[in-house]
Structure 1
Amino acid sequence: MIGATPASAAGGRAATLDRLGAVVIAALPACMALANRSSPVVVGLAGLLLLAGAAASGRPLRALLLAPLATPPGVAALAFLAWCGLSLAWSPLPGLSLRTLSEFLPALLGAYLVARLAPPHLGRVAAPAAWILIATCLYVMADLASGLVIREALGQRVAAFAFNRPLLTMMLLVGPLALALAATGRRVLAAAALAVFAAAAWRSVSGATVLGLAAGALAFLALRWLPARLGLGLTGAALLGALVLAPVEGDLLARTMPEALHQRLAGSSTRARVAIARSFGAAVAADPWRGAGYGTSARFQDVPVAERVEPEMRFMLAVGHPHNSFLQVWAELGVVGAALAALVLLLTLRAVAGLTATARTMALALLAGAGIVAFVEHGAWQAWWTAGVGAAIAWLRALPYHSQDPTHER
């Protein structure tokens, strides 16, 4: 740049990098629809661009990235990760454990970078992000209605469930994104994004997406009218209850779930899910203290504790994971891992309590939606889900930077 000073040139490079990082985050729904495991790459790229932008601008990276790790929630999270790493010492499948960790940690790092560095820069891409999300939902609905002819023409796998991961990622994003839009006066666009996504979720075969969206929406509407402490208490009780009861979830459901409900939910394979929960619960009961080791759920039928599970229940240990992240923590990391996870949840809720009313309500709704999906759906260490959570937190943390309400604080 002719005539530009070194400082102004560096500022220009930083602004360009920050803008590119924000654009990449905005494009996440479309990327996931085209490649349904791409979120770690997308979020990781955005994180690197934002990190380079922060470094070029001279912003204090120590305060931005390291200081939060010294707070109580940060220390608890690091302790949980340390226990995950320590469990490799007794994992009977160290190669599998290391491979799982090697996929999870980069996704977690990318999510952390985006959550910490992206919020000040997302306001300028909020409207484009909403239009990208809307267009992605319309594409999903059109392809499902056509019998997946678009996916077939693109040479992709022709299966309706291939859209489940993109929809679950958008389920995390749509609420914080809509709130960020509404905070800057673009309420019609916010409502359109919510409505179109709800239609896509309903049209899809992803029951978990519908369940997560419903839980988040109901939590948001209810928590807007409840006192702050009561809302925090109810959310905490639900999440901690899911964690504490996870080892006996299968037995409880087997005793209380009526046959008529199984028949009504036949498409969700509820009988198989109950059997899976019972099998992994039996494994937890056989080795409750330290667990089988991080990442072993993918081949849990091969770990020593599986031999102590009754033969008729052992078959369900080969499904890849217990379809309940809370139960997976128990099975792989034992009571110590579960206690550390509970501590992380409690300290996270304490941090959420310090947010402004609207941001706090959205944060609790996001926890409700993500928590119910984690309780019924995927494995605990899925990189695509971790990256999506990081992007959702970034949109949530963007609210005070772009709100028209002067009472919001960063």
Structure 2
Amino acid sequence: MSQIFPSASSTASNALRDAPSARASEPAAVRALRIAGVVCLVLLPLAMWLANRSAPLMLGLAAAAFLGAGLLAEPAAASIARLRALLATPLALAIAAFLAWALVSIGWSNKASVSLQAWAELVLPIVFALAIATSGQWRPTPLFLRALALMILAAAILSMIELASGLSQRAALGTGKMMAFVFNRPAITCFLLAVPTVYALWSRPGAHWSDRLLAVLLAVVVAVFAVRSESASVRLGLAVLVLCWACAALAPRFALTAVALAFVTTMALAPVLGVTAQRWLPSMILDRFNSMTGQARIDIWQSFGEVVWVRPVAGTGFGTSAVMREHPVAAEVPAAERELLGVGHPHDMPLQAWAETGVIGAGVLTLAGLLLLARLRRLPPAELAPRLALFTAAFSIAVVGHGAWQGWWIAALGAAILWFGTDAASRRGDDHG
């Protein structure tokens, strides 16, 4: 987190350094609100098992608690100063530029209400994560890390039990969709949150053997959950994570350069992803996936790729993928490609950015990614490896997975980034709640 939220993180680290004396005199309400915020973050993976779009709600509740604690503990000007410092970084400015352009592009959307809803779904989790980072109250400890590990384990195990039983538990309760894919989002969320948790539990100086045992157990269970789930994207993310982490540990500069090149290439070639995959992806690989993750997904990429060529500069308007078949641009797409414009999104984040916001939006997002990688370059290898691996794995999931702007996805990413902020507390061995 220090590389993504540098100013807020350094302030939090200073607060942590002075925490023992500060906590002795702080109001009970501040401590209670801070603990409530951490509990919301700890329970997030379990909430996603219960309701697979609940991550933004849990992140929002955590943000409200941390903000309340911050306002009670210090003048509001302190949080505002941290926020200003954070937003002044090049990375934050690039993200803000994309959000601003996305908002402007709604002006040529065919359904402004749908686009505004998509924009809010993207922005709210970002705001929640920023609020937590700048509250000055984000003080995770090894105790909370262990609690998070247990909640991830619980969510993963409960999900696998339901998958093995044919969702009999949900059938008995009469709630939720009776389809195995409902566990794809919990699988991805558990995977994302497990990365900083495993890293912190294992790497903390002086870590007890029980923490390392918990880290190993968590890694194994989450990997098994990824394999057992129906999400091909999380299995891809797992493979990429292991490969990138190993490469970054052995040759950090090479790994960082390779990731940057792969990232830029993927963003640039998104409009021809479908055509490229159709021509070059061997049928023996396609046959290993089910119909939705194989040929059908390539057909979807080709359809949305045609949209890019019709509106290459400004796109069709943010959030229009959900209603692309009804967009005037559909009439300009070859008839054979129109049908799959109604699937809701192109199952590829770079392609969705191109289709909805054009080369301008895709270019700004590419710049933001490169700025993030540039910040990671300043880290020592031991800290670079897990963060670079998470970036690469998350991007690989986004390239073949769900809609790019879904709130649960952005909230899960934000929570994972926040948990990487445990380094300062973990290095001190602070074990207080």
| TM-score in terms of structure 1 length | 0.93
Contact 2:106 2:318 in 1 (8 A): yes
- Give 1:288 deviation, angstroms: 0.3
Per the alignment, residue 377 of structure 2 pairs with: 353
Per the alignment, residue 100 of structure 1 pairs with: 118
Q: Tell me the distance in 2 between the aligned counterparts of 1:90 and 1:371.
A: 28
Per the alignment, residue 392 of structure 2 pairs with: 368
Contact 1:178 1:193 in 2 (8 A): yes
Q: Tell me the distance in 2 between the aligned counterparts of 1:306 and 1:401.
A: 53
- Give 1:342 deviation, angstroms: 1.0
1:134 to 140, 143, 153: 153
After superposition, residues 4-403 of structure 1 pair within 5 angstroms as 10-58=26-74, 60-117=78-135, 119-156=138-175, 157-184=177-204, 185=207, 186-226=211-251, 228-403=252-427
Q: More deviation in 71-80 or 348-357?
A: 348-357
Contact 2:34 2:138 in 1 (8 A): no
- Give 1:245 deviation, angstroms: 0.7
Q: Tell me the distance in 2 between the aligned counterparts of 1:129 and 1:20.
A: 14
- Give 1:366 deviation, angstroms: 0.7
Count of aligned pairs: 399
> SS of the residue aligned with 1:27?
helix
Contact 2:79 2:134 in 1 (8 A): no
> SS of the residue aligned with 1:322?
coil
- Give 1:122 deviation, angstroms: 4.5
Deviations 1:67-126 (A, max 9, x none): 110111111111111101111122222121112122222122113333555652243311
Per the alignment, residue 15 of structure 2 pairs with: none
Deviations 1:302-353 (A, max 9, x none): 1122111100111111110000011000000001101111111111111122
Contact 1:122 1:395 in 2 (8 A): no
Kindly provide the amino acid, as one letter, of the partner of residue 313 in structure 1.
E
> SS of the residue aligned with 1:292?
coil
> SS of the residue aligned with 2:250?
coil
Contact 1:223 1:361 in 2 (8 A): yes
Kindly provide the amino acid, as one letter, of the partner of residue 254 in structure 2.
L
**Uncovered stretches (5+) of structure 2, i.e. residues with no partner:** 1-22
Q: Which runs of 4+ in 1 moved over 6 A?
A: none
Q: Tell me the distance in 1 between the aligned counterparts of 2:156 and 2:373.
A: 32
Q: Tell me the distance in 1 between the aligned counterparts of 2:385 and 2:134.
A: 20
Q: Tell me the distance in 2 between the aligned counterparts of 1:102 and 1:344.
A: 20
Q: More deviation in 12-21 or 246-255?
A: 12-21
- Give 1:286 deviation, angstroms: 1.2
Per the alignment, residue 3 of structure 1 pairs with: none
Contact 2:63 2:132 in 1 (8 A): yes
Q: Tell me the distance in 2 between the aligned counterparts of 1:375 and 1:399.
A: 29
**Uncovered stretches (5+) of structure 1, i.e. residues with no partner:** 1-6, 406-410
Q: Tell me the distance in 2 between the aligned counterparts of 1:279 and 1:394.
A: 37
Q: More deviation in 308-317 or 213-222?
A: 213-222
Q: Tell me the distance in 2 between the aligned counterparts of 1:299 and 1:371.
A: 24
**What percentage of residue pairs aligned between the two structures are identical?**
36
Kindly provide the amino acid, as one letter, of the partner of residue 223 in structure 1.
A
Q: More deviation in 27-36 or 391-400?
A: 391-400
Per the alignment, residue 4 of structure 1 pairs with: none
Q: RMSD in angstroms over aligned alpha carbons? A: 1.9
